[in-house]
Structure 1
Amino acid sequence: MGGKPFSIRRRIFVLALALLLAASVVLIVFIRDYAERASDRAFDRLLAASALTIAGAVQVEGDAVVVEIPFAAFAMFSGQDRVFYAVEDPDAQTVTGYQDLAMQMGETVSAEPSFLDTVYRGETVRVASVGRLISTPTDTGWVTIHVAETQNQREALSAEILSNAVLPVLALTALAVGLVWFGISRMFAPLTELEHELRARAPDDLSPITVPVPEEVGHLVIALNGFMARLRNSMERVTGLVAEAAHEVRTPLASLRAQAEVAMDEHDPEALRRRVGRIHTGAVQASQLVSQLLMEATISHRLENREIDMTTVSAAIDEVRQRLDPEQVGRLHVDVSDEAAVATIRGDRVALREMMRNVVDNALVYSDGMVDISGRVRNGMLVVAVSDRGPGIDNSEKPLVMERFKRGKASSGKVGSGLGLSIVARVAEAHGGTMALVDRDGGGLTVAISLPLPRRSAPNGTAALVVATMLAGVMLAPSPSEAATTVYPAPDGGEEQVLNILGVTDTPLFAHFVAAFQAEHEGVTVVYEETDSRPLFEGFLDGTLEIHPDLLISSASDLQLKLANDGHALAYESPYLGDLPDWAHWRNEVFGFTFEPAVIIYNRDLISDAEVPRTHLTLAEMLETQTERFRGKIATYDIGISGVGYLLAAQDQTISSTFWRLASAFGRVNARFSGSSPAILNGVADGSLALGYNVLGSYAFARQAEGAPIEIVVPDDYVLVLTRSMLIPRDAPDAELAKAFVDFALSPAGQEVASGPTALGSVIPEGSGEWTSEAIAARGRGVIQPIPLGPGLLVALDTLRRQRFLDTWQEIVSPKP
């Protein structure tokens, strides 16, 4: 019994190649292990340094543990990974940070950092834990500090080290393989000549081989020549045999064919009919199964590609009825309320139709009587119920039948695939709804499907405002446009595509962006709800927003970064991302699109140009020396309710050594506080205020261009610049439209709007227009200090740090009598 043919050349080459590759693999594994260890050591040192920095800030006030997170604790990170932290007191109570992280980790009773890989919020994180021994009058114990970081950059560094080291290894391996192949080829050159000689021969040439060969192959050639001689004799005999066999075999083959034809004609008709019946039954079931599988594949494809349409339940029911025969249509009783009949469902029309078809088909197959279809609107949900008088489904089987290829006991004897209800459940879930199987009174089954109805717009108006009077300051009333919803219909009249945006930009300014966006996307309706930065952040987390936004836009970029860091943002690789400055985006989740300095505005009738302060220090000195003149005439943000105000104040405090002196000066003059820039602008413009501090330059430039009697100072010492940022929520109803708007805002067309009449400033360098970043920077002599989007912004948002900052601020600007 012969073995498989093989090549000596190939065997030698494969053996040499295997040895080379094995050596390379061993070397690469070693390099990979080294790269991972080196990367872990580097990033573990950063994690440990962060944890130790926080540990150093732990203090005891009375019996309570307090800690103010240092800025350096997070500034040392790369900015490309998510960062989480928690501080626990000796009683395992979370002092600050992420409580769920603290609950997931154990207590640390050592000052030496320890490290652990764990899964947190769906991602693998590396956690550094450090203990800090504290002693109070009543107890001594360990404070535990945990700092966690996702491992993207860690893995990227490891991959970079590995790739840089592997390339030379692969190059040397490839060179060695080439040398081995070359050497083997030279050794087997004589055999190649022998091969060419044999290939050149005619098929019937079996004469002896006369090509000179090495001694090692000579015996093989002698044996081959003897074999060919025997083969020549055999072929001569075979040729005669084939001629005889052709004549002898022809007759029995003809006989066998005739006998087969007779046998086919003698099949029993009754047996054949039964077999055909079974074949038909199997074909019907197979056809239905194939149809259902094809439909499931189609639905899966459409749902994955988010085929969005607007339809009604009446339209879906009508399509199902048109596909039924008259007898089945007569068994349907449809009772849909007027409200439900006109209620539009936002989703995939084909998937919704097939969902209804599967439910109705099941009801018709498993019952003989009438099938009732009802539709009602309840609490913002469209509830469609299909009821029959069939055998129903046992409670124990209800979860089972919603799985693929699962059928209940009542389906015995009924043709089916076991896919119908699983398709219904999947479509309902993909549209944000639910499906329930409910026993029907009097027998039978009700399939209840609940689908959410889209909120096309919220009522116009002004949200309820909280008016607060501080001990030494007055809250300014917000502008009447706050918390208003505006609908911009699609220019082509279409209603299928709706982009819901929740933002803090004044509606008149944002209207310019909407108009330019719709000029490129004529079929998109834009619903824009204007609110404040803090309510936007808190409402999104609480799920209490009036609309389900596709896009969040806020000037409080620290709050936006907090949302992204906590896993609420959808990653998107915009083609314009590479044009953004590094400080104006975080990873591919938060995108800045404006360039807005914090400026000082004043009324020339109340402050002359010669005496106007042009630095933060001179502003503090002016308020300290002319307290009575400016009492009640100075305004700035209320950092307790304004997200952007708190962001600017936190950055001021980090940069300026005179910040608390300036805050104290605000307290002396009974400064007034507002949650928005427009309210301060209104006060300066009408003369009720003399000066506004840290007002967003974008609003000030636009108001001045409209003719408002205000003057603007871009400080000469330093200028804080923030960028209005965009974020696509992970659960955005139409993420593709949101991505289109992000692309537009970052494109030259969108940046032209920012640098044009809105005066929001174009963040991408070398743009065109009056309000480019270069033009804005040239208006002052101070150091331009952009507020970078990165983990450092999370420090000021630490719960305990923020509360202490606010308490100190209020104590200074509103001293008790």
Structure 2
Amino acid sequence: MPPTFARADRRKTARAKRPVSIRKRILVFGGALLLAAAFALVLYVRDYAERASDRAFDRLLAASALTIGGAVQLEAGRVTVELPLASFAMFSGEDRIFYAVESPQGENVTGEADLSDGLAPATGGDPVFADKAFRDDRVRVASVGRLVSTAEGTGWVTIRVAETRGERDALAREILHNALWPILLLTLLALLLLWAGIGRAFAPLLSLEKHLRERSPDDLSPVELPAPSETAQLVGALNGFTARLKLARERLEALVAEAAHEVRTPLASLRAQAELALAERDPAALRRDVERIHEGAVQASQLVSQLLMDATVTHRLENQPEPTPVAPLAQEVVRRLSPDLSDRVILAIAPDAADANLSVDRVVLREAIRNLVDNALRYSEGEVEISIARDGPALDIAVRDRGPGIPDHEKPLVFGRFRRGEAGARIDRGGSGLGLAIVARVAEAHRGAVLLRDREGGGLAVHLRLPAEAAPVSQLPAPDRRHVLALLALLTAFAGAFSAPRPAEAAADFPAREKPAAATLHILGATDTGLFSHLIRAFQAAHPTIAVAYEENESRAVYDQLVSGQKAAPDLVVSSASDLQVKLVNEGLVRPFAPTRLAAIPDWARWRSEVFGFTFEPAVIVYNTNLVKPEEAPRTHLELAELLEREPQRFLGRVGTYDVARSGVGYLLATQDQAISSYFWRLAAAFGRARVQLTASSPEILDRIATGDLAMGYNIIGSYAFARADAGAPIGIVVPDDYVLVFSRSLLIPEDAPQPELAEAFIEFALSPAGQAILAGPAALGALLPGADGRWTADRIASLGQGAVQPIRFGPSLLVGLDRQRRERFLATWQEIVSPH
């Protein structure tokens, strides 16, 4: 070879061996251009976008404050204000809204008393803007003044409206994105250069990829290619992984081979005995054959159970265990024995070991103790003693019996898989030879020991010694875990034919379908338990290891409980009072979440990715079909008022509706009626003359209508009425022909929910096709999302009436009805008209 080519080869070899830094190559080809060209332009465009966004949204803030200012009045020398319905209508985004009205003396008239902290009172009618931190968020505040004259003199009423900066920041980002063409051009140029650099920088990785692709599946030898410094550790980890994978595959192959060999023999024996029994004509001989078949089946069941437990222990040994109390676990093993066997067991726990814990998986330790006890009971007739005591830094669990014992020369051998001592084989009590092997594996994994000692007076003493501070358990690689789980499932299916069912555990409100329960989902709600249980049970069918505890209360009480914080927060809240749910969101008490089907929820039934509607429920008129004929049942709100005015004595004390002072959903429906209908107060006056019966619960009104105590009910939740009608109650349902209010029950996750992941799983299910089918079917709560199968879909419910469907939209406009002064005025007027006595 010529010297020139030799030097070139040496340089090529040196370059191949020299570590290459991918990071440096990327910085060289891309970093300089990106950092130098973009910085100044980004600052300029961002500043412009923020100023433009503030100007646009400040006009909306000022308009809202001026609208409220126009409603300021003086009554008996006191400043009052009733928020107009349009006060917050201009806020269509997902920002939280706050407001405050202060008298000239600085006293809070209504709204958030702490909104004015740090802000000067208004001194004129022109809006003044300020930014401040309020309730853990950044807000923009508009302040305007309203001049009033009182006995004390003339002064300015201060009106403030604040909005979080989410929407304006989003607009600023949109302007920024649309104005950055110069930066985009420079970025494209930089990307071209970066592409060329990456092609060179990742050449070694491509070589590694090619090398791995060309390997056969059975080649688990280490990778010896030269690697860049950034990937040297990766290659090392890959080599370590393949070494563990090789060991795991060898271990799995041995386990499968042993299991196949050991299971094949008893199954072949069972088949041969069954064939002989089929040909047997002598009843006595046939009975003996059946007894042998039963004995073989029992032995096969025991063998499969041991194989199953062997696979379970192998799987669970890879988990990081929590401290396990030993004494209660030993007591549990004894309790699980049949009564005739448990009477033979004596459990002795030393005082210094009563509270001892071991860092061993609970199931693994329980099965180790159970195998020792089963062996002692199987191969001996007398009493079996279990003792737990401390022995220096270790805990000694000893099981003593009066069986035949194990000769010294066999003691090292019986720890092998499927190995049994000669004395035990002669007794032939159906052992599998896996029990001591499982115990030995548990001891070895935790750096303990199993000791076999002859017992004075005859018998065997087995000592399981585990250190009080167990060493970390060596973990199996991921492929081995999958193989063990697959084998575990196979053995479970086979063992199901022989195993007896386990006893059920103690039930919660809605116990998990599979025991033990992985977790309990706590739901606080204002939905009838009987109807909501359909959705809960369907959720548990999809998540069988989750138990559910459901606490039912009135919608206002649900809101008060969350705001007060006096009780532990639930994981999930469900309520029919949309305004109170929006209020919780606006107060910052809700955790955000983006369900998979968020885009499918109608815009009116969700807000800020924090509260989500999931049902479609109209407010209907209900009547007793024995007291009111279908042809005379009112079809509109006006017809209802005219009927009560025309026949007041007939319906005196026989009409029911919500007590709006106690019921959150009742107040919501009443305020929406007031905003939509010009006949609302006429209807309220008719209620007053008929001495309407007020309650905080739709089910209570329906009960009284069904029994004939009431003739009609107004603004009843349609889902409850549909369910009662389907159950055969003598009620008729009218979906009004003029307009029908529709609301959606909503779900939200409290900010301090202890298990938000469980709540998220329930929301996902409620919005899924399976969950919506439950709402459209047995629950009769109404499916909100399109495409649901069932009787009570949104389209089907809307078609029951001829009027306009008026959904109650989630958003800041609902906060107007919750204003303190507006609520007090509404309730006072309602009380005066509807129930003056």
TM-score (norm 2): 0.59
Q: Do 2:616 and 2:782's aligned partners in 1 also have CA atoms closer than 8 Å?
A: yes
Task: Tell me the equivalent position of 1:67.
Answer: 81
Cα separation, partners in 2 of 1:636 and 1:333, compared to 1, 3 Å: same
Choose which of 501, 518, 527 in structure 2 pairs with 1:505. Answer: 527
Where 1:699 maps in the other structure, the secondary structure is helix
Cα separation, partners in 2 of 1:737 and 1:137, compared to 1, 3 Å: same
Choose which of 582, 601, 626 in structure 2 pairs with 1:561. Answer: 582
Task: Tell me the equivalent position of 1:661.
Answer: 682
AA aligned opposite 2:138: T
AA aligned opposite 1:71: L
Identity fraction in percent: 56
Aligned counterparts of 2:674 and 2:326: Cα–Cα separation in 1: 58
AA aligned opposite 2:514: D
Cα separation, partners in 2 of 1:598 and 1:39, compared to 1, 3 Å: same
Where 1:620 maps in the other structure, the secondary structure is helix
Cα separation, partners in 2 of 1:312 and 1:656, compared to 1, 3 Å: farther
The Cα of 1:171 is off from its aligned counterpart by 4.3
Where 1:728 maps in the other structure, the secondary structure is strand
User: Structure 1 residue 632 and structure 2 residue 653: aligned?
Assistant: yes
The Cα of 1:137 is off from its aligned counterpart by 2.5
Q: How does 1:445-456 map to 2 (within 5 A)?
A: none
The Cα of 1:602 is off from its aligned counterpart by 0.8
Aligned counterparts of 1:635 and 1:486: Cα–Cα separation in 2: 36
Cα separation, partners in 2 of 1:42 and 1:641, compared to 1, 3 Å: same
Q: How does 1:287-306 map to 2 (within 5 A)?
A: none
Aligned counterparts of 1:16 and 1:687: Cα–Cα separation in 2: 81
User: Structure 1 residue 527 and structure 2 residue 549: aligned?
Assistant: yes
Task: Tell me the equivalent position of 1:169.
Answer: 182
Task: Tell me the equivalent position of 1:706.
Answer: 727
User: Structure 1 residue 34 and structure 2 residue 42: aligned?
Assistant: no
User: Structure 1 residue 136 and structure 2 residue 158: aligned?
Assistant: no
The Cα of 1:23 is off from its aligned counterpart by 7.0
Task: Tell me the equivalent position of 1:83.
Answer: 97
The Cα of 1:103 is off from its aligned counterpart by 3.4
Q: How does 1:230-379 map to 2 (within 5 A)?
A: none
The Cα of 1:177 is off from its aligned counterpart by 7.8
Where 1:774 maps in the other structure, the secondary structure is helix
User: Structure 1 residue 516 and structure 2 residue 541: aligned?
Assistant: no
User: Structure 1 residue 121 and structure 2 residue 135: aligned?
Assistant: yes
AA aligned opposite 1:49: A
Aligned counterparts of 2:321 and 2:706: Cα–Cα separation in 1: 47
User: Structure 1 residue 672 and structure 2 residue 693: aligned?
Assistant: yes
User: Structure 1 residue 746 and structure 2 residue 767: aligned?
Assistant: yes
Task: Tell me the equivalent position of 1:783.
Answer: 804
Choose which of 527, 539, 543 in structure 1 pairs with 2:561. Answer: 539
Cα separation, partners in 2 of 1:531 and 1:309, compared to 1, 3 Å: farther
Aligned counterparts of 1:309 and 1:697: Cα–Cα separation in 2: 50
Cα separation, partners in 2 of 1:17 and 1:314, compared to 1, 3 Å: closer
Moved more, 635-644 or 681-690: 681-690
Cα separation, partners in 2 of 1:513 and 1:176, compared to 1, 3 Å: closer
Aligned counterparts of 2:756 and 2:512: Cα–Cα separation in 1: 18
Q: Could you report, residue by residue, the CA deviation over 1:62-102 in whole angstroms, capped at 9, with x for unpaired residues?
A: 12111111121111112311111111112211111111223
The Cα of 1:141 is off from its aligned counterpart by 1.6
The Cα of 1:172 is off from its aligned counterpart by 4.0
Q: Do 1:310 and 1:496's aligned partners in 2 also have CA atoms closer than 8 Å?
A: no
Cα separation, partners in 2 of 1:23 and 1:174, compared to 1, 3 Å: closer
Q: Do 2:523 and 2:551's aligned partners in 1 also have CA atoms closer than 8 Å?
A: yes
User: Structure 1 residue 589 and structure 2 residue 603: aligned?
Assistant: no
Cα separation, partners in 2 of 1:99 and 1:315, compared to 1, 3 Å: farther
Aligned counterparts of 2:191 and 2:522: Cα–Cα separation in 1: 61
Aligned counterparts of 1:608 and 1:595: Cα–Cα separation in 2: 28
Choose which of 777, 782, 802 in structure 2 pairs with 1:761. Answer: 782
Cα separation, partners in 2 of 1:499 and 1:313, compared to 1, 3 Å: farther
Q: Do 1:97 and 1:799's aligned partners in 2 also have CA atoms closer than 8 Å?
A: yes
Q: Do 2:736 and 2:801's aligned partners in 1 also have CA atoms closer than 8 Å?
A: yes
AA aligned opposite 1:153: E
Task: Tell me the equivalent position of 1:493.
Answer: 515
Where 2:687 maps in the other structure, the secondary structure is helix
Task: Tell me the equivalent position of 1:268.
Answer: none
Choose which of 602, 605, 616 in structure 1 pairs with 2:623. Answer: 602
Q: Could you report, residue by residue, the CA deviation over 1:546-605 in whole angstroms, capped at 9, with x for unpaired residues?
A: x53111111011111111110110111111212111111111110111000000011122
Q: Do 2:519 and 2:546's aligned partners in 1 also have CA atoms closer than 8 Å?
A: yes
The Cα of 1:699 is off from its aligned counterpart by 0.3
Q: Do 2:34 and 2:187's aligned partners in 1 also have CA atoms closer than 8 Å?
A: no
Aligned counterparts of 1:543 and 1:722: Cα–Cα separation in 2: 27
Q: Flag structure 2 segments of 5+ consecutive residues without an equivalent.
A: 1-27, 195-319, 332-349, 363-504
The Cα of 1:497 is off from its aligned counterpart by 0.4
Aligned counterparts of 2:92 and 2:323: Cα–Cα separation in 1: 44
Q: Do 2:145 and 2:157's aligned partners in 1 also have CA atoms closer than 8 Å?
A: yes
Q: Do 1:309 and 1:496's aligned partners in 2 also have CA atoms closer than 8 Å?
A: no
Aligned counterparts of 1:539 and 1:178: Cα–Cα separation in 2: 55
Where 2:700 maps in the other structure, the secondary structure is helix
AA aligned opposite 1:137: A
Task: Tell me the equivalent position of 2:66.
Answer: 52
TM-score (norm 1): 0.60
The Cα of 1:727 is off from its aligned counterpart by 1.0
Q: Do 1:89 and 1:143's aligned partners in 2 also have CA atoms closer than 8 Å?
A: yes
Cα separation, partners in 2 of 1:641 and 1:489, compared to 1, 3 Å: same
The Cα of 1:173 is off from its aligned counterpart by 3.6
Q: Do 1:667 and 1:813's aligned partners in 2 also have CA atoms closer than 8 Å?
A: yes
Q: Do 1:63 and 1:138's aligned partners in 2 also have CA atoms closer than 8 Å?
A: no
The Cα of 1:152 is off from its aligned counterpart by 0.8
Aligned counterparts of 2:640 and 2:158: Cα–Cα separation in 1: 43
Aligned counterparts of 2:154 and 2:822: Cα–Cα separation in 1: 24
Aligned counterparts of 2:102 and 2:529: Cα–Cα separation in 1: 44
Q: Do 2:41 and 2:183's aligned partners in 1 also have CA atoms closer than 8 Å?
A: no
Q: Do 1:83 and 1:148's aligned partners in 2 also have CA atoms closer than 8 Å?
A: yes
Q: CA RMSD in A?
A: 3.3
The Cα of 1:21 is off from its aligned counterpart by 8.1
Cα separation, partners in 2 of 1:628 and 1:129, compared to 1, 3 Å: same
Where 1:727 maps in the other structure, the secondary structure is strand
Moved more, 606-615 or 727-736: 606-615
Q: How does 1:340-419 map to 2 (within 5 A)?
A: none
Q: Do 2:325 and 2:355's aligned partners in 1 also have CA atoms closer than 8 Å?
A: no
Cα separation, partners in 2 of 1:495 and 1:144, compared to 1, 3 Å: same
Q: Do 1:21 and 1:173's aligned partners in 2 also have CA atoms closer than 8 Å?
A: no
Aligned counterparts of 2:29 and 2:532: Cα–Cα separation in 1: 70
The Cα of 1:31 is off from its aligned counterpart by 2.7
User: Structure 1 residue 576 and structure 2 residue 590: aligned?
Assistant: no
Where 1:75 maps in the other structure, the secondary structure is coil
Cα separation, partners in 2 of 1:647 and 1:310, compared to 1, 3 Å: farther
Cα separation, partners in 2 of 1:128 and 1:706, compared to 1, 3 Å: same
AA aligned opposite 1:720: L
User: Structure 1 residue 690 and structure 2 residue 711: aligned?
Assistant: yes
Q: How many residues align?
A: 522
Q: Could you report, residue by residue, the CA deviation over 1:527-555 in whole angstroms, capped at 9, with x for unpaired residues?
A: 0111110111112222344x531111110
Q: Do 1:87 and 1:102's aligned partners in 2 also have CA atoms closer than 8 Å?
A: no
AA aligned opposite 2:534: H
The Cα of 1:804 is off from its aligned counterpart by 0.8
Task: Tell me the equivalent position of 1:735.
Answer: 756
Choose which of 168, 184, 201 in structure 2 pairs with 1:154. Answer: 168
Aligned counterparts of 1:115 and 1:780: Cα–Cα separation in 2: 48
